[in-house]
Amino acid sequence: QIANFIHNYYCCTISKAYSLFFSKKLLKVRSLKKISDFKEEESKQTPIKQDLYELNKNQEEIYKNIKKSKSLYHLIHGITGSGKTEIYMHLIKDALHQNQDVLFLVPQLSLLPQMKKRLEKAFPNTNILEHSHKVSSKEFSENYINCKAYTSSITISSRSGLFLPFNNLGLIIMDEEHDQSYKQDQTPKYHAKSIVQNLAKLSNSKLILGSATPSLETFKASQNKVVEIHKLNKKFKDINKPEITVVDISNHLLKNPNHYLSPNLIAAITDSLDQKKQVLLLSNRRGYSNFLMCLDCKEINECENCATSFTVHKNSQYQYLKCHYCNNSKSIPIKCNKCGSTKLQSFGAGIQNLDELLKEEFPKARILRMDSDSTSAKNSIKEIHEKLDSNDFDIILGTQMVAQGLDLKRLNLVGVIFAEENLNLPDFRTHERYIQLLNQVVGRTGRHTKNSKVIIQTLKPENKLFYQFLDENLNSFLEEELHRRKKYHFPPFSKLTKIEFKEKDLNKLKIKTKDLERKLHQNRVKFHSVTPLIYRKNNQFIHHIFLQNTNPIKYIQELILDPNCIIDRDPQSTL
């Protein structure tokens, strides 16, 4: 039934939908334990034990309300550090005692090790599986059979865990439900939330969505009583809120163009290190520098395959140029391709650049970098979490992956290097993601230490979104954003479908798009035809057609088999 839903709703072939349930990894393993072997192991297990925190009054009330509610769909809307996870744990305990399986979803692979460790501590005698598309073929297959064999098991997983064959599913938890990583970026481009809603209904399982900053779609669903909302407005532990300071770094950068740490932030880092505390710094920009430019003719080095600039990266030996869209890379040119000048300068603060800067400013500090480049190698995430667990660092510097899930005992300072990173992107979700990221990263501090601080560096301190964030007026932001979305007919007040055409031949691309536009016009379907911001990727020209409030399948049936056409229901971006 779920495969048919994916096939029909997300406009893909039925074989593509079924491939989600029967991974190629299952076919690669020749010898596996039989289900009877797992059954024998299960019979030898000791009874379920649990080591849980006692809930406070607010948590207890939410826990009891969810237990007695007849609704399947619930949202726990709690500020960061309010103890959403403790409520999850008590609900998991109940499911296990009823011999039910639990699926615990997290949006990013980097969150799996820490959450698994927490579950193992809470439920020491329980079968706990860690699953993702990154596990080996043997692990993938054993998880598959394990799920089929055991009852009273917990599976912690990224979105790929949705397609395991659970024996007796009774509870689904989707933590950080707002995170865009729950959207699959390959065909079929499903969103995990729509799948878990169907899965919960089919298995009669309770679905618990959790977030400090719920998506607009979920927030609207709670207003419409489709999802039952439960609010946690206070921190779990009685610790003072962090002191938040917004620092205008415009003048500092005019005087020190390549120094992205303000005197305020340097002083705060120094103070934290002197107190033997930890520091978390957010810089949502991979690489060493944003781009390479000729100082004479102002030419910016662009990728030959894509209509976008190269990012400057650096390894232990040299700097090089890399495209983040097609992974094309090459050495730094000696002279400008356009005018021949040798005056080439890199600009912008990439995370590698900041890593160097921190080592210069704080030579004795142990610095841990966490981004997609530093975590791409096998076991790198595991090694980073071992350092986190052993407190073997003083400063953690990372992209948005450090904004969620980290629970650091000695952390008392969070610094945001450039608050408006990506804020000017012309996308309807830009403001929503901005507020979500700020809330998440600021929420890492003020959990275990008193007198914690947050320093937000910005070039635009007058930005209205700052004041909504500083006033902790998330509901005001959500209501305003809903009003804006309604005015311009964006989700959750409409259903969008993005049709992306890709062709190496520009004329062929134009013919395809015109054919579809003609068909849509004839059927009086409302659509927008646009050239995207980055109109060429991987040596292919790109064009987008957006459909509103219509089931696209009857207009695009023949496009499903076209390898150069991508159909995206409920896109996370219009870029």
In this prediction, residue 442 carries a pLDDT of 86
pTM score above 0.85: yes
Tokens of 214: 């719920």
In this prediction, residue 71 carries a pLDDT of 96
Q: Is residue 363 exposed (0-12), middle (13-18) or buried (19+ Cβ within 10 Å)?
A: exposed
Q: Out of 241-245, 393-397, 501-505, which region has the weakest mean confidence (pLDDT)?
A: 241-245
Confidence of residue 44 (pLDDT cuts 50, 70, 90): very low
Half-sphere exposure of 133 (CA within 13 A, CB side): 14
Average pLDDT over the chain, rounded to an integer: 87
The answer to whether 499 touches 519, Cβ cutoff 8 Å, is: no
Does the pLDDT at position 28 exceed 70? no
Does the pLDDT at position 42 exceed 60? no
> First and final CA of the chain: distance in angstroms?
32
Confidence of residue 266 (pLDDT cuts 50, 70, 90): very high
Its CATH class, for the domain covering 27-232, is alpha beta
Contacts of 397 (CB under 8 A, 6+ apart): 281, 283, 351, 354, 355, 358, 367, 368, 369, 370
**Which position has the higher pLDDT, 381 or 443?**
443
Does the pLDDT at position 122 exceed 60? yes
The answer to whether 142 touches 32, Cβ cutoff 8 Å, is: yes
In this prediction, residue 114 carries a pLDDT of 86
SS3 sequence of 355-410: HHHHHHHCCCCCEEEECCCCCCCCCHHHHHHHHHHCCCCCEEEECHHHHCCCCCCC
Percent of the chain predicted with pLDDT > 70: 93
The answer to whether 269 touches 414, Cβ cutoff 8 Å, is: no
**Which position has the higher pLDDT, 498 or 45?**
498
Q: Out of 13-27, 37-51, 545-559, which region has the weakest mean confidence (pLDDT)?
A: 37-51
Confidence of residue 347 (pLDDT cuts 50, 70, 90): confident
Q: Across residues 406-430, what is the average pLDDT?
A: 85
Does the pLDDT at position 465 exceed 90? no
What residues does 346 pair with on adjacent strands? 292
In this prediction, residue 34 carries a pLDDT of 54
The size of the chain, in residues, is: 575
Q: Out of 25-29, 343-347, 463-467, 495-499, which region has the weakest mean confidence (pLDDT)?
A: 25-29
Question: Fold match between 243-285+349-483 and 496-569?
Answer: no
Coil, strand, or helix at residue 551? coil
Q: How far is CA 112 from the centre of its chain?
A: 13
Q: Across residues 15-21, what is the average pLDDT?
A: 92
Domain spans of the chain, in order of start: 27-232, 243-285+349-483, 496-569
Percent of the chain predicted with pLDDT > 90: 54
In this prediction, residue 207 carries a pLDDT of 98
Stated as kind and residue range, the H or E segment containing 141 is helix 137-149
Peptide bond into 571 cis (omega under 30): no
What residues does 175 pair with on adjacent strands? 210
In the block, residue with structure tokens 């902790």: 472
Does the pLDDT at position 416 exceed 60? yes
Instruction: Identify the architecture of domain 496-569 in CATH.
Output: 2-Layer Sandwich (3.30)
**How would you list the strands of the sheet with 228-232, edge to edge?**
127-131, 153-157, 101-105, 169-175, 206-211, 73-78, 228-232
Tokens of 6: 């994916």
Confidence of residue 233 (pLDDT cuts 50, 70, 90): confident
Q: Which of 528, 515, 490 is nearest to 565 (CA)?
A: 515
Q: Across residues 55-77, what is the average pLDDT?
A: 96
**Which position has the higher pLDDT, 305 or 470?**
305
**Which position has the higher pLDDT, 192 or 370?**
192
The answer to whether 467 touches 542, Cβ cutoff 8 Å, is: no
Tokens of 18: 């079924």
In the block, residue with structure tokens 């415009």: 250
Q: Across residues 73-102, what is the average pLDDT?
A: 93
Does the pLDDT at position 260 exceed 60? yes
How many whole angstroms separate alpha carbon 60 and alpha carbon 57?
5
Confidence of residue 391 (pLDDT cuts 50, 70, 90): confident
pLDDT tens per residue, range 237-249: 666 778 889 999 9
Q: Is residue 543 exposed (0-12), middle (13-18) or buried (19+ Cβ within 10 Å)?
A: buried
Half-sphere exposure of 318 (CA within 13 A, CB side): 8
Confidence of residue 575 (pLDDT cuts 50, 70, 90): confident
Tokens of 449: 């230490």
In this prediction, residue 239 carries a pLDDT of 65
How many whole angstroms separate alpha carbon 421 and alpha carbon 62?
36
**Which position has the higher pLDDT, 253 or 520?**
520
Q: Which of 532, 542, 573 is nearest to 185 (CA)?
A: 573
The count of other CB atoms within 10 Å of the CB of residue 318 is 9
Q: How far is CA 29 from the centre of its chain?
A: 31
Domain spanning 243-285+349-483: CATH 3.40.50.300: yes
**Which position has the higher pLDDT, 332 or 41?**
332
In this prediction, residue 276 carries a pLDDT of 92
Q: State whether the Cα torsion 378-183-10-540 is positive or negative.
A: negative
Stated as kind and residue range, the H or E segment containing 542 is strand 540-548
> Looking at residue 337, what DSSP letter applies?
T
Does the pLDDT at position 19 exceed 60? yes
Confidence of residue 184 (pLDDT cuts 50, 70, 90): very high
> E strands of 372-521, at which residues?
395-398, 411-416, 453-458, 496-503
Confidence of residue 40 (pLDDT cuts 50, 70, 90): very low
